[in-house]
Amino acid sequence: MQRYPMFIDGSDHAPHADAWFPTDNPYLGQPWAEVARGDADDVDLAVRAADRAGTTGPWAEFTAAERGALLRRLGDVVAEHATELAELEVRDNGKLFAEMHAQVSYLPQWFYYYGGLADKIQGAVLPLDKKGYFSYTRKEPIGVVGIITPWNSPLMLLIWKLAPALAAGCTVVAKPSEYTCASTIELARLFHAAGLPDGVFNVVTGFGDPVGAALVSHPLVRRIGFTGSDGTGRAIGAAAARELKHVGLELGGKSPNIVFADADLDAAVNGVVSGIFAATGQTCLAGSRLLVQQEIHDEFVSRVVDLARSARMGDPMDAHTQVGPVTTPPQYRKVLDYIEIATKEGATAALGGAAATRPECGTGWFVEPTIFTGVENSMRIAQEEVFGPVLVVIPFRDEAEAITLANDIRFGLAAGVWTQNLPRAFRMADRIRSGTVWVNTYRAVSYMAPFGGYKDSGLGRENGMEAINDYLETKTVWINTDAPVGNPFVIR
């Protein structure tokens, strides 16, 4: 079986303890490769390499313009290898090739955008209230950045952090999810071959404990960028606070998709179905709570059910497949557990409600697209993130109730609003407490548009120009040009 060692200081690195673990193909439900099982010593090696590279290596001597040029080259490398990287993602996480290929093909834009920004990072000359001083600020790289990613979109969620980190001049140690390490390792090899100096981008593989935990607590790591579950996010936030590190947390959601009776219902049906069943519901921004205005409830739900029922399941590499497997065995059990919880709470499965046993699903971990009606917003199935192909439907009377229901949840990652009433669209966009609101669309993201969560959905924003500041420190320099240095005992 193929083996993936770690990538540290510019070369493949066998695990310190020579331990390996299998990684599965979710469509076959079987292992396809072995991955290095790192430990705290491997993390230490990688962080020290990153620290050296950022302070004394050639990377530290790169001008901002040179960093920008190299980032644009890295974008080209991703574009040139998009097909093989997408295939690797599919083998390891079971998402559709069509989705992964589109996603990977979009990722070069992050390197072009932040590459373009690299030589526009500038401090300021300060207009002071004191005479005889010249003062200016410098924007300096924050240092070693630890990046911890989940299994649903491994390369995308890495690159959202990696591109601005490199543009700022930082160095990186990445720890991919133990379920999906291969693509991150392959990317590090490709980037090194393309001229990224040794130690600038290191990959340590293994489990959250010890590898992720060691990265978070390592004294030379200055920032942690994390995407994943809110439980792990809290633990990382607490550890980062203890160590006084910067931290960005992109956590889960239970995002409402809100359909008013005045909406273009054809568009809304498509938006609702793609909002939850694309990616088998395994996205942080899934529109997993459908709020429908009462007078169209029955008609709208039956249209959503019909469209979802038509989804073809099967091999994610097959261009005709529309819903793929669940990525991991624990996730498969979690989704089935939530279906049981919903049933016990009194919800009715208008569609699905079980593991998928269709012949085309083979031995993979498939769950039938599931839609629950008769749901109260207070039920667990309405409040907790399932992270699978499970949609709940909740009726509402009017705009005021829609807003109350939308906000009555501890998450605040995203929301969709479907209406043809323009003033209503603006009112809804103002009042929903979430990091993104889509009107008459769903799941649009861009390297130019900030993304992140309100409330328990996280801390900080990724993408857009401001994200670069997360990877920079501001230093203020004072130079005495003509001020007397007088009586040492009087503070002025």
In the complex, what is the shortest distance from the CB of residue 374 to Mg ion, in angstroms, rounded to a whole number? 36
Closest CB to ligand NAI among 229 and 407?
229
Among 208, 271, 452, 460, binds ligand NAI (CB under 6 A): 208
Among 151, 260, 300, 365, binds ligand NAI (CB under 6 A): 151
Closest CB to ligand NAI among 14 and 239?
239
Binding pattern for the stretch 121-150 against ligand NAI, x by CB under 6 A and - elsewhere: ---------------------------xxx
Residue 235 sits in the site that holds ligand NAI (CB under 6 A): yes
Q: Which of 99, 284, 368, 385 is catalytic?
A: 284
Q: Catalytic site residue 462?
A: no
In the complex, what is the shortest distance from the CB of residue 58 to ligand NAI, in angstroms, rounded to a whole number? 30
Residue 387 sits in the site that holds ligand NAI (CB under 6 A): yes
Q: Using CB under 5 A as the criterion, which residues of the chain lie in contact with Mg ion when the complex forms?
A: 23-24, 92, 179
Q: How far is residue 275 from each of residues 99, 151, 284, 308, measured CA to CA in Å?
A: 13, 19, 11, 11
Find the part of the chain contacting ligand NAI (CB under 6 A) among 38-46, 158-166, 228-236, 352-360. 228-236
Residue 209 sits in the site that holds ligand NAI (CB under 6 A): yes
The answer to whether the beta carbons of residues 262 and 418 sit under 8 Å apart is: no
Find the part of the chain contacting ligand NAI (CB under 6 A) among 33-41, 78-86, 211-219, 348-356. 211-219
Find the part of the chain contacting ligand NAI (CB under 6 A) among 45-53, 119-127, 207-215, 472-480. 207-215
The answer to whether the beta carbons of residues 1 and 33 sit under 8 Å apart is: yes
Token pair listed for 420: 């043809």
Q: Catalytic site residue 284?
A: yes
Burial label, 431 (beta-carbon count in 10 A; 0-12, 13-18, 19+)? middle
Residues lying near ligand NAI in the complex (CB under 6 A): 148-152, 175, 177-178, 207-209, 212-213, 216, 227-229, 232, 235-236, 250-252, 284, 331, 334, 385, 387
Catalytic residue set? 250, 284
